[in-house]
Every structure is written in structure tokens, then in C-alpha cells.
Amino acid sequence: MQVKSPRGVQQTDVNGAADELLSEQLKPTIERVRMKLGRGSPNTVGPMLEVWFSSLGERLGGATGEADKTSELPATVHIAMKTLWKSALQEAHSTFEASKADFANTASQQEQQMTTVLAEIEAERGAFTQQASLLNQALDALNIRLAESQDQANKLQMLVNKKDEELTSSRLALQQQVAEGNEERRRHDAQLRAHSAEIQALQAQFVSSERRLMAEIDRDRQQVKKLQAEVEIEKKKQIRHKSEALEVAGNLTKQLHELRMQNTQLSERASGYLARINDMQPQKLKSAAKNKAVRSVKG
């Protein structure tokens, strides 16, 4: 495969420079090739040098068998390429064995680390679940207290309404008694001349009864005022309790949302660790060793 560059450097230029470096018993690198060419950026020369290295094995194979009639490389280049290839194979084998041992050790450590992390995540998830349950219980208790306060306020309002009805009945009864007293007094006035002493006694009785009724009405009125004051106090308590309950409910809802977000993040972390373990396949060891061997030839 030929890699072409829009900036002037071509694959054939890079191949020729790399062959010259080999004939000089130097390993072709990006910087050496650029110095040979006198131009070209690392981003341009790098991929072309990779292509040259990828065809190096095939070219060396031809050199170890019968002479390739189509090859125009000098003998010194063939010798240098064979020596470089042999050295690269030995270094690649050593690198592969070392990488294999390092990878096995790293995989074991990461597996142990993942087991520990998963256990910690499960423990944290259990703690979060328990905390969320406790917060829900606290919210339910607040709702129950709010309902009880509302029920108590309703009962007090019913008591006030009942006292109002009793006061109205007492007032009507007093008015009826006053009307009856007036009527009685008119009858007494008619008999005043003949029964002056009796009239005075009846008037005194009426005044006493009226005072007694007025005193009872006044007591009922004071009791109603007292009940109304208690209702106002209870209403204020209810408003304060409701405000506190709403504030606590908002805080609990916010904490529940944060717990769910933390639980989601922990799940994502666990999934990432599992994905990393699944991606560690033995096949990638060989690819890594092969790439390292090619890099050692280049370096």
C-alpha cells in the first residue's frame, strides 16, 4: 500500500531514504528519514515509514531464499536488513515473554481490585437504600402529624360553632324571657294601684332574673372569646407545622434525588470496571508484542 502526501513527500521517497539508512547500518527512524529527505513532517513521514516496515519481512524472506531477480537492493542492504530482522525477532520474543508475565500480574491485581470495588459499591448501595427508607419513614411521620393537627383544628372549629349556636339559643331565650317579662310587667302595672307591694316584689324578681341571665350570657360570651383565641393559636400552630413539614419534605425529596444520582454513578463505575476486565483478552497480548517488535526495529 502506497501512502501519498499532499505536501510533496511520496512513499517512494521514504522507501529510498530508509534503504539508504539500512545500507549505512542505521535503523530507519522518522527523524533520520526526514533528515535524509530534508523535508516532510513527522505526521507525513510516520505512516509512510510504517508501510516500509510492514513490507520489510516479505523483502527479507526473499533475500534468504533464492535471489529475487526483480530486487535491485545492494548486497550490503540485504545483509543489514537480515541482521536487523534477526535482532528484532529476538528482542520481540523477549518482549513478548516479559509482556505476558506483566499482563498476567496486572490482570490478577486488577481483578482483585475490581472485586474490592464491587464489594464497596454493594455496601454503599445497601447503606443508601437504608438511608432512603429512613427518610421515607420520617416523611410519612410528618404527614401523619400534619393530618393530626388538621383534625384537631377541625374539632376546635366544630366546638366554636357549637358554642355559637348555644349562645344564639341563649340570646333568643333571653329575648323571649324579656318579652314575657315586659308583658308580665304590663299586667303588673295594671294591678299596680291595687297591688303595689306585689308589683314591687315582682319587679325585684324580674330584675334579679334578668341580671342572672345577663351574667350567664356574659360568661358564655367570655367562653366563646376564649375558644376563639384558642382556635387562632391552633391555626397559627397548624400553619407553622405545615410550613415546617413542607420544608422538611422538600429537603427529604432533594436528598432522595441525590441518593438516586449517586446510586446511578456507582452503577456506571461498576459497569466500566466490568467492561475493562472483559476487554482484556489473551489475543491482544500477541498483537501488543508484535507491535512492540516493529517499534524496536524503528527505534
Instruction: Decide if pLDDT at 48 tops 90.
Output: yes
Q: pTM surpassing 0.75?
A: no
CB 88 within 8 A of CB 22: no
Distances in Å between the Cα of 126 and the Cα atoms of 123, 129, 133, 231 are 5, 5, 11, 46
Q: Report the greatest alpha carbon distance in the chain.
A: 169
pLDDT value of residue 7: 53
CB 298 within 8 A of CB 27: yes
Instruction: Decide if pLDDT at 222 tops 90.
Output: yes
> For residue 226, what is its C-alpha cell?
376564649
Scanning the structure block, which residue is given the C-alpha cell 350567664?
Answer: 216
> For residue 69, what is its C-alpha cell?
531477480
pLDDT value of residue 203: 82
Other beta carbons less than 10 A from residue 211's beta carbon: 10
Per residue in 136-165, pLDDT (tens digit) is 898 888 889 888 888 888 998 998 898 888
Average pLDDT over residues 119-140: 87
How far, in Å, CA of 296 to CA of 39, rounded? 24
DSSP string, 176-220: HHHHHHHHHHHHHHHTTTT-HHHHHHHHHHHHHHHHHHHHHHHHH
pLDDT interval class at 3 (50, 70, 90) = very low
**Residues comprising the chain, all counted:** 299
pLDDT value of residue 217: 82
pLDDT value of residue 45: 93
Average pLDDT over residues 66-84: 60
Other beta carbons less than 10 A from residue 33's beta carbon: 25
How far, in Å, CA of 100 to CA of 146, rounded? 68
User: What is the crossing angle of helices 75-190 and 11-23, to 10°?
Assistant: 120
Kindly report which listed range (100-104, 107-111, 189-193, 205-209) carries the lowest average pLDDT score.
Answer: 100-104
Average pLDDT over residues 91-100: 56
Phi, psi of 231 (to 5 degrees): -65, -45
